[in-house]
Amino acid sequence: MAFSTLGLCDALLKTIEQQGYTAPSPIQTDAIPAVLSGRDVMALAHTGTGKTASFTLPLLQLLATGISAQPGHVRALVIAPTRELAAQVAQSVENYSANMNIRSTAAFGGVRIEPQIFALEYGADVLVATPGRLLDLHNKQALNFEHLEILVLDEADRMLDLGFIDDILRIQALLPNKRQTLMFSATFSKEIKMLAKSMLFNPVVLEMADATRSLDNIKQQLHPVDKARKTDLLIHLLVQHKWPQALVFCRTKRGADEIVTKLESLGINADSIHANRTQRARTLALDGFKNGTISVLVATDIASRGIDISHLPCVINHDLPFVPQDYVHRIGRTGRANATGLAITLFSEDETEQLRAIEAVVGHTFAPEIVIGFVPTNITPTKKTPTKSAIDEPEYGNFEADTTPRRFRKSTANKKRKK
């Protein structure tokens, strides 16, 4: 099937050709005509399946047939859960609208709000925003939703995970009832269905492959290791395999910075991305990883959605996530667009409950592979509840509100790692 069969206009087809795309993905094949029909859409779609284009392309075509946004007004609103994902979607909107008279902008926290207010003074055909910054802009009377035509909730399940439900409901109350609403989610949980029932009218429901099928092209490995030797094993694997790039996930912000400090001391170009870093620092780290100047990016779950790196060879879980679905989103950064990928998990015996929960989600029991020289002291994990430090908590919650300056690396490198 070709994009030309989906009802897209010549301007968009020209852009698609210029971008080098030849055939639509399954979610694009189903979602584009559904959105063009003007109906509400609820779609189960995982990252790496072409989800962003499946709502961006038809959204742009619908907007192109109307009157441009008036000053201070927004015609289409895309809400994303994290700054990185918002920036990524906004870039896609800009790329796909290259041959159209569409004005778009992005708004998220971590950067000054004044330039965003200034941009909105001219009006926006498409605004991509995170919930917290969107409400800030409305409170400053920088936004008018009177003429809103389309609302998109991207990664709706992630927004619920991060506690944005109250913000979403407040935003909904500000919008006109007569609008088209599109909801894209990785899961159709009970909570998502309840949210959809309150926001969508007679939607077209599209359900693509489940999470476990989306991992079929990713080789998953589990390496048992003592907790205190995880970073040493990480370094061993990086040196041994010489991957051009690797994305490493850990549970805490402090842990991410400590890993980067150790990698840099060995001459490995590395950087971290988490909520304690400024938006500028996060953007520079992500850009450096995308252009290859940074070979290892160490991230907390803030980055498990929103990082789109072509041909990323490897994802390494330094720590297992407490939320099992986050494992799927983490390793989904590799093996994208039908490419093959590798996901390695470093497992310590205190993470048994997280491992069992992940196995239940992915429908797969991991076969431990012990690395020579890193045989764990206790190779028979015992079931015990993982403990969390009150000082170094896992990175959850509203990342918009977290603007604490990043800790200096040198000060963290010399501190004894919390067990």
Q: Tell me: the pLDDT tens digits for 142-198?
A: 999 999 999 999 989 888 877 889 999 999 999 999 999 999 987 788 888 888 989
Output the six-digit token pair for 21. 């795309």
Residue with the larger pLDDT of the pair 389 and 279: 279
For 138, other C-beta atoms within 10 Å of its C-beta total 15
pTM for the complete prediction?
Answer: 0.67
Query: What's the pLDDT band for 400 if we cut at 50, 70, 90?
Result: very low
Query: What is the rounded (10 degree) CA torsion for 15, 21, 26, 29?
Result: 30
The residue assigned the tokens 């700054």 is 83
Selection from 168, 102, 166 nearest residue 130 by Cα: 168
CB-based burial, 110-137: b 16+ in 10 Å, e otherwise: bbeeeebbebbeebbbbbbbbbbbbbbb
Tens of pLDDT, residue by residue over 95-145, are 999 999 999 999 999 899 999 999 999 999 999 999 999 999 999 999 999
Q: Which domains does the chain have, with CATH numbers?
A: 3-207 (3.40.50.300), 213-413 (3.40.50.300)
Which residues, 6+ apart, have CB-to-CB distance to 227 below 8 Å?
A: 348, 349, 350, 419
Which H or E run includes 85? helix 83-96
Contact 271, 260 (CB under 8 A): yes
The pLDDT value recorded for residue 238 is 96
User: Could you read off the pLDDT of 73-103 as tens digits, one per residue?
Assistant: 999 999 999 888 899 899 999 999 999 999 9
How far apart CA 377 and CA 368 sit, in angstroms, is: 14
